[in-house]
Amino acid sequence: MKKYIIILSINLLTSTGFAQDADSIYINQDTQTESVQQKYKDADSMFVMANHLYNEGKYEDAVDVYEAILDAGKESSYLYYNLGNAYFKQNALAPAILNYERAYRLNPSDEDINHNLTIARTQITDKFEEVPEFFVLTIFREIKSLFAANTWGIIALVSFAIFLALVLLFMFAGKLFIRRLSFWIACIVLLLSISCKLIENNLRKYDSAIVFVPVLTAKTSPDDSGKDMFLLHEGTKVLVREDFNEWTKIQLPNGEQGWVISEAITII
């Protein structure tokens, strides 16, 4: 593996999804239980402590602290990446892949995330021949992998601000040439802003899941009486198509579909 610990507090501070205070989160280490706020003060110190535990080989304790940060409503690609590493060190393939995938979703251009995710995927039992992808979708996937989701969001926001400035210029400019030029540039910038926002939303979309049980049977219908279709194993990534009661319809990379128990998979 490449470098496996990245202390990047600023990403925890600037990433989206900061929902709760840390005073409601509890961590069990050894026989002592303390509130995270009392023990680590804030998410940054928790992140540093988790990295320290990882470096000491205390992977289970590191997982507890990383998970506590997530429970507090905070996320970043680096947090998911480090958590995936800690799970991988414990040979917990499904949660390792899950967190690598979540890290990739937020930052598909990161080489370390891609490297470790590739290594983890080699240990998956199930191998599928993927359906050929329409070339437009391939181009779109390549473009969206250029930046992290947060970066696309920032570009969209800045572009929209520029669009508003151009609208003002169009409204108050005295010369016809400037008004025409500002109008057409504003249209282009608005399309750029919308496109970047769509890419950000696509990167944050939860339409895939990881199998979290050793062996999972997919059926023809959302009930136990349905015929068995195919078997899946721990760590396999599937597309989520629809939910019905306690069942979820999934699709494999080769296009095959079936129904599985919802609790057997975890959404990325």
Backbone angles phi, psi at 82, to 5 degrees: -65, -40
What percentage of the chain exceeds 70 in pLDDT? Answer: 82
Q: How far apart are CA 136 and CA 33, in angstroms?
A: 53
Burial level of 19, CB count in 10 A (0-12/13-18/19+)? exposed
Of 24-28, 106-110, 132-136, 190-194, least confident by mean pLDDT is 24-28
Comparing 77-81, 97-101, 199-203, which segment has the lowest mean pLDDT?
A: 199-203
The CATH topology of domain 208-267 is SH3 type barrels. (2.30.30)
Query: Mean pLDDT lowest for which of 135-144, 212-221, 245-254?
Result: 135-144
Predicted local distance difference test score (pLDDT) of residue 4 = 37
Task: Supply the mean pLDDT for the chain.
Answer: 82
* Contact assessment for residue 236 and residue 210, using Cβ atoms and an 8 Å cutoff: yes
Tell how far CA 234 is from the center of its chain: 19
pLDDT of 51 over the 90 cut: yes
pLDDT at 196: 92
Crossing angle (nearest 10°) for helices 43-55 and 77-89: 30
**Mean of pLDDT values over 185-198:** 94
* Interior angle at CA 77, CA 199 and CA 40, nearest 5: 140
Kindly report each contact of residues 21-29 with a partner whose C-beta sits within 8 Å and lies 24 or more positions away, as own/partner.
21/72, 22/46, 22/68, 22/72, 24/72, 25/68, 25/71, 25/72, 26/68, 27/64, 27/65, 27/68, 28/64, 29/61, 29/64
The reported pTM is 0.69
Structure tokens at 48: 């540093």
Whole-angstrom Cα Rg for the chain: 22
Tell me the sheet residues that pair with 215: 233
In three-state secondary structure terms, 248 is strand
Domain borders along the chain are 9-121, 135-203, 208-267
pLDDT at 97: 97
Q: Which residues contact 19 (CB under 8 A, 6 or more apart)?
A: 72, 73
Whole-number pLDDT of residue 229? 93
**What does the pLDDT read at residue 28?**
29
Q: What is the pLDDT of residue 133?
A: 62
Q: Which CATH number fits domain 9-121: 1.10.3720.10, 1.50.10.10, 1.25.40.10, 1.10.760.10?
A: 1.25.40.10
Q: What is the pLDDT of residue 132?
A: 65
> What gap in Å lies between CA 62 and CA 65, rounded to an integer?
5
Does position 198 have pLDDT exceeding 80, yes or no? yes
CA distances from 34 to 25, 26, 118 (A): 9, 6, 37
